Amino acid sequence: MRTGFAAKRFAQMALVWGLVSALSFFIVYFAPGDPLYVYMTPGATGHKMTEAEMARLRESMRLNGSALRQYGAWLKRTLRGDLGLSLQNRQPVLPQIAERLPRTAALMGASLLLSLALAVPLGLIAGTRKHGKADHVISALSYLGISTPSFWLGIMLIILFAMKLRLLPAAGFRTIGVRSFGDVARHTALPAAVLSLNNIAVFVRYIRAGTIAQLEEEYVQTALSKGLSRRRVLYGHVLKNCLLPVVAIVGSRFGTLVTGSFIIETVFSWPGLGMLGMSAINNRDYPMIMGITMISCTLLLLGNFAADVLYRRLDPRIRLEEGR
């Protein structure tokens, strides 16, 4: 059964990856403009490239041929780990992505940990105090978190904590010349807080609903009647069952973290995939755009797969149903 589950999931992942690659490639291919526009206009030297020079440059950058031919050639190179050369600096795309990826991963990890650390207690409080004042306040804050634009919140936090209070740095990954965990943590605080806001709001809603549903189950009443404290029942049994849906939701939120990082990294000048992607979009660097798109797609698929595997291990009912 485990082999069948893994084979089925990998087949689905391969299909999704292929569809995303084709859709992304043809959207980029048929987008208005020419990726060689920057070479067509006279630069600082005043030299404008001739048609023959443009043809040779297009050939060297593998931009000639039909759309299907270019897609097939690009797909073969990508499957071999060759994402091509950046049109901006003529350097390989993959090493540039590999250099930025750990910083984006660190930001996403900090955001996810912060989201769970705040959402779990808030969701439990709201669920155990159904329709109480605490529930109303937490629910209102969660709706506010879902509806607040991240870029606006980022700018407001920069104005408050960096410019007014001068407690935290406004931008960057670390202070020049300083190499300490504390300095990196201070730079991470604001972007991680903004990136986690939407996740906190979503997780709180799921944990609240799960807590309310679990408290109405017979096993809770049975445990209380046997003399177990409410705290022990809540944290020993109810919380475990409430977190099962959250595990699945965390996998699906990987996409939000990746796409959200583009905006947040731009606002806070965080040197990760987001800033690299925005620079590629502004400069029509199609190989870099495609490389970041496929790396992000791969991370999303792997995140969902990891969440599915963890969910199966935590919930014995799934394994029991598959064994029938």
Our CA dihedral for 208, 211, 213, 217, rounded to 10 degrees, sits at -170
Q: What angle do CA 27, 32, 33 make, to 5 degrees?
A: 120
As for how many domains the chain has, the answer is 1
Report the C-alpha gap between 6 and 101 in whole angstroms. Answer: 27
For residue 81, being part of any structural domain is answered with no
Shortest CA distance to 104 belongs to which of 306, 299, 279, 250? 299
For residue 34, being part of any structural domain is answered with no
Report pLDDT for 44. Answer: 41
For residue 76, being part of any structural domain is answered with no
Report pLDDT for 45. Answer: 43
Report pLDDT for 117. Answer: 92
For residue 163, being part of any structural domain is answered with yes
Structure token digits, residue 282: 């502004």
State CA 87 to chain mean position distance. Answer: 25
Check: CB of residue 150 under 8 Å from CB of residue 135: no
For residue 63, give every residue at least 6 positions away whose Cβ sits within 8 Å of its Cβ, in sequence order, or none.
Answer: 35, 36, 70
Report pLDDT for 215. Answer: 85
Predicted TM-score (pTM) of this structure: 0.80
Block residue for tokens 């769970």: 116
Report the C-alpha gap between 268 and 305 in whole angstroms. Answer: 31
Domain limits at 176?
Answer: 100-284
| Plot region of 177 (φ>0 → left; ψ -120 to 50 → alpha; else → beta) | left
Tell me the three-class secondary structure of the chain, residue by residue: CHHHHHHHHHHHHHHHHHHHHHHHHHHHHCCCCCCCHHHHCCCCCCCCCCHHHHHHHHHHCCCCCCHHHHHHHHHHHHHCCCCCECCCCCCEHHHHHHHHHHHHHHHHHHHHHHHHHHHHHHHHHHHHCCCCHHHHHHHHHHHHHHHCCHHHHHHHHHHHHHHHCCCCCCCCCCCCCCCCHHHHHHHHHHHHHHHHHHHHHHHHHHHHHHHHHHHCCHHHHHHHHCCCCHHHHHHHHHHHHHHHHHHHHHHHCHHHHHHHHHHHHHHCCCCCHHHHHHHHHHCCCHHHHHHHHHHHHHHHHHHHHHHHHHHHHHCHHHHHHHHC
- For each successive 10 residues of the chain (324 residues), what is the average pLDDT? 74 91 86 64 54 68 75 88 83 91 89 91 91 92 90 92 90 84 90 90 90 86 83 83 80 72 87 88 85 88 83 68 54
What CATH number corresponds to the domain at position 274?
A: 1.10.3720.10
For residue 206, being part of any structural domain is answered with yes
Report pLDDT for 37. Answer: 61
For residue 165, being part of any structural domain is answered with yes
